[in-house]
């Protein structure tokens, strides 16, 4: 298994560059194809 060093900051920078609120990344873990979806949303403070 190969490891990736993609950080949350890398994902947020990519979303900013693409002007996107959702990013999907496809990868494999132990031979199983997976999709990681990250959605950026505004937090509502009380």
Task: For the chain, give every domain's residue range.
Answer: 1-46
Q: What per-residue confidence (pLDDT) applies to 14?
A: 86
Residue 1 has pLDDT above 60, yes or no: no
Residues 22-33 have pLDDT tens digits of 989 898 889 999
Q: What per-residue confidence (pLDDT) applies to 3?
A: 62
Q: What is the pTM of this model?
A: 0.57
Give the N- to C-terminal CA distance of the chain in Å, as an integer. 43
Average pLDDT over residues 16-45: 90
Q: How much is the mean pLDDT over the chain?
A: 86
CA triple 46-23-27, angle to 5 deg: 125
Q: What per-residue confidence (pLDDT) applies to 29?
A: 87
């Amino acid at each position: 298994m190969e490891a990736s060093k993609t950080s949350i900051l890398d994902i947020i920078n990519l979303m900013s560059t693409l002007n996107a609120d959702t990013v999907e990344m496809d990868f494999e873990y132990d031979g199983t194809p997976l999709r990681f979806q990250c959605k950026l949303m505004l937090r509502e403070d009380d």
